[in-house]
């Protein structure tokens, strides 16, 4: 067995231990905490959280950046070992929830994911890297296994639907990557989802204005 | 730069310049509380391996670059013993959990963190000076001259650093001879127990993925109504790890749930404290501080503690926000001319007590309520 195989297996075993002992219950605790924070907020379809599964973690760990390993310490550096998602109705709501998220959590990163070129369509979403709140930590957990951060995505219904299907199609470890025609077809569906979001958002704003209400 | 430590006064330093050893007036040690910290080697010590110190003048607003003088401190003798004590007690003494902030644009990068990680990677005088220069750029004349210590070590995978700023003060030096007393006034004395002493501790197993969270002490924050952005916000580019909303809501929810489940004595005690708390200004506080401030009974403290997932949540400092607190926990009370006192949560006061005006001219009102008696207590007026 080669050295890199041994490292791979050791990493997989370590992450699996962490996944079973901490990440799973942590994701559920985080989901409940987030739901409580958002109580009373309008137009939230759902709040979800899940740990990154073992296969996806070990597939991400050896990722390269300019030909060099991106993660010298994957267990310490990969910040989406737990991912959460708030699914809301309209793009206006994604913007509206930004101060709410920042009121409850400390971000070390926040950004809008948009395709690099205006001619491209692909993944859209507002992402945050947030410190794990101490309220969700169980004192019985091994502290060395508790990640420091989690990733929160705030998406519209259409963005969520597109990203879930695209994720399932495109990133299964061990499978062939998408062909350029398949990628173009996915981009087409992304454009449709983007367009639908725009239409719904414009309708929402127009009808709200007509009714004399604020878009809150 | 030469820093002299006086053997009879282990908590004070004197920037002696060309002066000889002198006896200084002793200062008292502040009482310490124990806190846990993150890191794989919980409880294991990380010995001090290097100490650098720098004299930092006010430099905020520019006014010309000034060479910061610094020096290494030997890992022996009484000065080292003092600093080693600060280093080893830091986990208990630094009680404010803080976290570095990203850039304004949301990029995962922090100038102060970068300097600290660079120093931990290679703890040299020039790398430490970069931290001192950052402190200088954030120090104005109100904060004045300070003596900065960088005390760091490494054990296995664990890195630890304590950054400690002693403010300047003046003192009276006494030399007692068999028949006389020599009294002298000293300037540039650096005292740890002064109200503006500040420190921060970082300990983590990874410089790449960690060193985002730390624990700070800022004695200026301890006083009600005062806050110091200088150390945590400006120099460290950090915020309290527990957001104002998170902490205030945690306190409010614990009080509300504890009041619901308690007997009438504890209920009234909690309601009284909550009513007064609604007028507190924005200040750093923990749930334990709150209980102490309002002198809650042991029974009330236990009731509140039962509503928290862990006792450590009661120790965490946050900035109290009255508006958030009142939204969650306001109680409304009405006193009637016949001696009746009506109290209910303000959110549903009008549901609990139905009102009917019986005399428009005198505003006499009939209040009606219905429920099961869960507590009935006769209290003497004296």
Over residues B30-54, mean pLDDT: 60
* Residue A129 with chain B: CB contacts under 8 Å: 108
Q: How far is the alpha carbon of B107 from chain A, nearest alpha carbon, in Å? A: 5
Average pLDDT of span B68-92: 92
Residue-wise pLDDT for B223-257, tens only, equals 443 446 889 999 999 999 999 999 999 999 999 99
**Which element (helix H / strand E) includes B239?**
strand B238-240
At B373, the pLDDT band (50, 70, 90 cuts) reads confident
Query: pLDDT-based confidence at B281, cuts 50/70/90?
Result: confident
Is residue B24's pLDDT more than 50?
no
CB proximity B88 to A under 8 Å: no
Separation CA B347–CA B327 (nearest Å): 8
Chain B partners within 8 Å of A109 (Cβ) = 102, 106-108
> How many CA atoms does the CB half-sphere of B297 hold within 13 Å?
12
* Mean per-residue pLDDT over chain B, rounded: 83
Q: What percent of chain B clears pLDDT 70, i.e. is strictly above it?
A: 81
Written as six digits, the tokens of B340 are: 């009746």
Please tell me which residue of chain A has the smallest CA distance to B251: A135
Considering CB atoms only, which of A73, A109, A144 is closest to B108? A109
Check: CB of residue A137 under 8 Å from CB of residue A146.
Answer: yes
B185 has a chain A CB within 8 A of its CB:
no
Above 60 in pLDDT, residue A144?
yes
Confidence of residue B25 (pLDDT cuts 50, 70, 90): very low
Q: What is the mean pLDDT of residues A113-118?
A: 77
> Stretch B133-143: mean pLDDT, rounded?
91
Residue B344 pLDDT grade (very low, low, confident, very high; cuts 50, 70, 90): confident
- Distance separating alpha carbons of residues B237 and B135, to the nearest angstrom: 11
Give pLDDT, residue B193: 66
**Could A131 and B206 be called an inter-chain contact, meaning their C-beta atoms sit closer than 8 Å?**
no
Q: What is the mean pLDDT of chain A?
A: 90
B107 and A CB contact within 8 Å: yes
A134–B313 CB contact, under 8 Å: yes
Q: Within 10 Å of residue B77's Cβ, how many Cβ atoms?
A: 11
Q: Looking at the partner chain, which of A79, A103, A111 has a beta carbon nearest the beta carbon of B243? A: A103
Confidence of residue B375 (pLDDT cuts 50, 70, 90): low
ipTM attached to this prediction = 0.90
C-alpha to C-alpha distance for A88 and A41, rounded to whole angstroms: 10
Residues of A in contact with B209 (CB under 8 A): 73, 76-77, 79, 148
Per-residue model confidence (pLDDT) at position B12: 45
Smallest CA–CA separation between A179 and chain B, in Å?
A: 32
Task: Assess whether pLDDT exceeds 90 at residue A109.
Answer: yes
- For residue B39, what is the nearest residue in chain A, using CA coordinates? A144
Number of H helices, E strands in chain B: 10, 17
In contact, B101 and B234? CB cutoff 8 Å:
no
Q: Which of residues 84 through 103 in chain A touch B, CB cutoff 8 A?
A: 103
* pLDDT value at residue A4: 79
Contact call for B210 and A76, based on CB within 8 A = yes
pLDDT attached to residue B226: 42
pLDDT at B9: 39
| Distant-in-sequence, close-in-space partners of A73: CB < 8 Å, separation ≥ 6 | B206, B208, B209
CB nearest B245 (choices: A79, A104, A129): A104
Higher pLDDT, B64 or A136: A136
Question: Are the C-beta atoms of residues B25 and B13 closer than 8 Å to each other?
Answer: no
B52, B125 contact by CB (below 8 A): yes
Q: How confident is the model at residue A93 (pLDDT cuts 50, 70, 90)?
A: very high
Exposure string (b/e) for A161-191, b if CB count within 10 Å is 16 or more? Answer: ebbeebeeeeeeeeeeeeeeeeeeebbeebe
User: Does the pLDDT value for residue B75 go beyond 80?
Assistant: yes
B38 Cβ contact partners less than 8 Å away, ≥ 6 residues apart: A143, A148, B203, B204, B213
Q: According to the model, what pLDDT value does residue B34 have?
A: 28
Host H or E run for residue B13: strand B12-14
A17 in contact with B, Cβ within 8 Å = no
Phi, then psi, of B363 in degrees rounded to 5: 60, 25
| Tokens encoding A121 | 């369509």
Mean pLDDT of B329-358: 82
Q: pLDDT band at residue B380, thresholds of 50, 70 and 90?
A: low
Q: What is the pTM of this model?
A: 0.83
Interface contact B242, partner A, CB < 8 A:
yes
- Quick one: chain B helix, strand, coil %, rounded to 5? 30, 25, 45
- What's the rounded mean pLDDT across residues B335-354? 83
3-state secondary structure of A65: strand
- Decide if B253 touches A, using CB distance below 8 A: no
Answer whether B66's CB lies under 8 Å from B59's CB.
yes
Chain A's closest residue to B314, CA to CA, is: A135
The fraction of chain A above a pLDDT of 90, given in percent, is 65
- For an interface test with A, the pick among B111, B204, B209 (most A C-beta atoms closer than 10 Å) comes out as B209
Contacts of B313 in chain A (CB under 8 A): 134-135
Q: Is the pLDDT of residue B15 over 70?
A: no
């Amino acid at each position: 067995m080669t050295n890199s195989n041994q490292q791979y297996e050791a990493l997989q075993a370590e992450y699996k231990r962490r996944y079973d002992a901490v990440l799973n219950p942590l994701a559920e605790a985080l989901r409940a905490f987030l739901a409580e924070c958002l109580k009373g907020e309008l137009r939230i379809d759902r709040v979800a959280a899940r740990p990154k599964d073992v296969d996806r973690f070990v597939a991400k760990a050896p990722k390269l950046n300019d030909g060099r390993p991106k993660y010298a310490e994957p267990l310490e550096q990969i910040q989406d070992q737990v991912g959460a998602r708030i699914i809301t109705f309209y793009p206006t709501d994604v913007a509206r929830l930004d101060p709410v998220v920042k009121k409850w959590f400390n971000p070390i990163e926040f950004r809008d994911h948009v395709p690099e070129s205006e001619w491209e369509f692909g993944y859209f979403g507002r992402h945050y890297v947030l410190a794990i709140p101490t309220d969700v930590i169980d004192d019985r957990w091994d502290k060395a296994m508790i990640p420091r951060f989690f990733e929160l995505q705030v998406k519209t219904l259409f963005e969520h639907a597109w990203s879930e299907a695209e994720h399932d199609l495109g990133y299964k470890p061990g499978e062939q990557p998408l062909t350029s025609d398949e990628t173009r077809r996915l981009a087409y569906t992304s454009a449709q989802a983007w367009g639908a979001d725009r239409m719904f958002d414009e309708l929402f704003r127009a009808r709200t204005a007509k009714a004399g209400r604020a878009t809150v | 730069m030469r820093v002299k430590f006086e053997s009879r006064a282990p908590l004070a330093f004197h920037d002696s310049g060309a002066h000889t050893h002198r006896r200084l007036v002793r200062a008292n040690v502040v009482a310490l509380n124990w806190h846990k910290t993150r890191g794989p080697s919980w409880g294991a010590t990380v010995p001090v391996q290097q100490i650098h110190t720098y004299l930092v003048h006010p430099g905020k607003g520019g006014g010309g670059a000034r060479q910061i003088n610094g020096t290494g401190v030997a890992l022996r003798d009484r000065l080292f013993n003092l600093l080693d004590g600060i280093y080893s007690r830091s986990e208990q003494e630094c009680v404010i959990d803080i976290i570095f902030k990203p850039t304004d644009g949301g990029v995962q990068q922090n100038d102060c963190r970068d300097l600290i990680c660079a120093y931990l990677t290679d703890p040299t005088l020039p790398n430490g000076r970069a931290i001192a220069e950052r402190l200088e750029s954030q120090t104005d004349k109100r904060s004045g001259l300070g003596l900065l210590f960088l005390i760091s070590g490494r054990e296995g995978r664990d890195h630890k650093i304590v950054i400690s700023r002693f403010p300047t003060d003046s003192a009276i030096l006494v030399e007692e001879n068999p028949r006389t007393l020599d009294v002298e006034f000293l300037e540039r004395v650096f005292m740890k127990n002064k109200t503006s002493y500040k420190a921060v501790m970082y300990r983590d197993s990874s410089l790449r993925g960690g060193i985002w969270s730390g624990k700070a002490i800022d004695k200026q924050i301890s006083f009600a109504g005062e806050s110091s952005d200088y150390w945590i916000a400006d120099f460290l580019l950090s915020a309290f790890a527990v957001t104002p909303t998170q902490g205030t809501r945690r306190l409010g929810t614990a009080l509300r749930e504890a009041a619901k489940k308690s007997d009438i004595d504890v209920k009234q005690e909690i309601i009284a404290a909550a009513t007064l708390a609604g007028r507190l200004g924005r200040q750093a506080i923990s749930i334990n501080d709150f209980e102490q401030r309002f002198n809650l009974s042991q029974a009330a403290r236990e009731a509140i503690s039962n509503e928290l997932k862990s006792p450590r949540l009661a120790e965490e400092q946050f900035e109290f926000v009255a508006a958030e607190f009142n939204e969650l926990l306001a109680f409304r009370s009405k006193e009637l001319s016949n001696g009746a006192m009506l109290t209910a949560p303000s959110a549903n006061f009008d549901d609990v007590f139905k009102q009917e005006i019986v005399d428009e001219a005198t505003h006499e009102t009939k209040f009606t309520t219905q429920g099961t008696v869960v507590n009935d207590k006769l209290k003497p007026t004296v």
